[in-house]
Amino acid sequence: MKGPDMKSHSYFPILAVLVLAAVQLASGTPLDDYIAKPDESYTYSIIKTAKGLGYTAYILEMTSQSWRRKDEVDRPLWKHWLTIVRPANAAGDKALLWINGGSNKRSAPDSADKMLVGIALSAGSVVADLKMVPNQPLMFPDGGRPRSEDGIIAYTFSKCVATGDKSWPL
> How does pLDDT run across 48-103, given as a tens digit for each residue?
999 999 999 999 999 999 999 999 999 999 999 999 999 999 998 999 999 988 88
108-160 confidence digits (pLDDT tens): 999 999 999 999 999 999 999 999 999 999 999 998 899 999 999 999 999 99
Per-residue pLDDT reduced to its tens digit, 9-59: 566 666 666 666 666 655 678 888 888 888 999 999 999 999 999 999 999
Q: What is the pLDDT of residue 30?
A: 82
**Contact call for residues 122 and 96 (beta carbons, < 8 A):** no
List CB contacts of 48: < 8 A, sequence separation 6 or more: 58, 59, 108
The per-residue pLDDT for 61 is 97
Is 77 in contact with 52 (CB distance < 8 Å)?
no
pTM across the whole model? 0.78
